[in-house]
Amino acid sequence: MMLRNDYRVRGASVSLVNLEKRYGRVAAVGGVSLDIQSGEFLTLLGPSGSGKTTTLMMIAGFESPTAGDIAIDGASIVAVPPYRRNIGMVFQNYALFPHLTVAENVDFPLKQRGVPKAERSKLVREALDLVRLPGYGERHPRQLSGGQQQRVAVARAVVFKPRLLLLDEPLGALDKQLRENLQIEMRRLHAELGITFVLVTHDQDEALTMSDRIAVMNDGRVAQIGRPEDLYDRPCSHFVASFIGQSNFLPAVVCGLEEGVVVVKCQGILMRAVSSQPPALGAEVTVTMRPERLRFADTSVETGPLANLMSATVLEAAFAGERCRYLLKSDCGASIVLKEASGATIRRRGVGERTEIVWAIADTILV
């Protein structure tokens, strides 16, 4: 079902300026500055204790900043109580009222705002249609599956047409298949509603699938922000490369520069890599490569001057459905993980087999 044009709302822009939250001497958020564009789907991604949920709670008004400012459409809201910020909120535990029907749950924020009953009934019906639960209004939350309860929570959060929706680990309590299905549903809702979504999650796959941009947080600060493909292909640090996806890391020393490409030596083996900022000659660096970007040389066309080549021995070989995962030991002594698509025509490697691996210089990143 596509929404009528009059249901769409222009999303709010959000600006965080040197935002801090301290609990005594502990800084949960240590100076976050971030601009979220109108209508954007932005995700705050990070491990437990990184400050992402505290940041979201400050935007919602449930936590007060120790320092800094929060502005919506250019106007500071730090002194505005939560109930006057007109922000939609979806929690991991759904927070539905068990004694109310689905329709009454969705109607609750409209009733609190004094919306006339006739209009409330229409908006509730439209909201349930939006989350694909038509006809569920008379049921109670206990009669719904986890995924259906989450859809009701979303309907309740958007029924009053907020311009900003905050989502705190909204899919964390669901099983893998349902979570993946609802990720697609969330993207559809975002496209149809036109409002600004800010999601908090520790699930990297969820962030990569749903977001326009991702702000990776660590120790109360933003480690890197960018489009999902930029963060995955060009991580700026060891932390970002290891937190988003899986990576191989090799210590190396910078030997020189060749037309914008960095030449490094890893335990006697020369490799070429790319870097956002050219490092100094002789600098000790770390080279990272994604396991799925590596190939066995006898099956790859990526040979020649634009690729790195390394000899290795297979230590472990594991079949994992759509991929085979290999643990290799390179001739320089480094452990390397390679992931190869599985298939009836693809030869599987055996433990102890000698081989060569190859990968593009563009996929060899200094962090």
Over the stretch 162-185, which tens digit does the pLDDT of each residue have? 999 999 998 876 778 888 888 888
End-to-end CA distance of the chain: 45
Give the DSSP H or E segment for 55.
helix 52-60
Give the DSSP letter of residue 332: T
* Six token digits for residue 294: 């590596």
Q: Which residues pair with 121 in a beta bridge?
A: none
CA distance 363 to 276: 13
Task: Give residue-wise pLDDT tens across range 79-130.
Answer: 999 999 999 999 888 889 999 999 999 999 999 999 999 899 999 999 999 9
Domains and CATH numbers, the chain: 5-238 (3.40.50.300), 246-366 (2.40.50.100)
The confidence band for 325, taking pLDDT boundaries of 50, 70 and 90, is very high
Task: Give residue-wise pLDDT tens across range 326-350.
Answer: 999 998 888 999 999 888 778 889 9
List the Cα angle 330/335/336 in 5-degree steps: 80
What pTM was computed for the model?
A: 0.90
Is it the case that residue 201 has pLDDT exceeding 90? Answer: yes
On whether the CB atoms of residues 327 and 335 are closer than 8 A, the answer is yes
**Per-residue model confidence (pLDDT) at position 335:** 93
Task: Give residue-wise pLDDT tens across range 279-313.
Answer: 899 999 999 999 999 999 987 655 556 789 999 99
On whether the CB atoms of residues 90 and 108 are closer than 8 A, the answer is no
Q: Which of 277 and 300 is assigned the larger pLDDT?
A: 277
The closest alpha carbon to 189, from 161, 208, 213, belongs to 161
- Of the listed ranges 60-64, 144-148, 156-160, the least confidently predicted one is 144-148
Within 13 Å and on the Cβ side, how many CA atoms surround 214? 28
CA distance 215 to 55: 12
On whether the CB atoms of residues 312 and 337 are closer than 8 A, the answer is no
Mean pLDDT for the chain?
91
The closest alpha carbon to 54, from 202, 220, 201, 258, belongs to 220
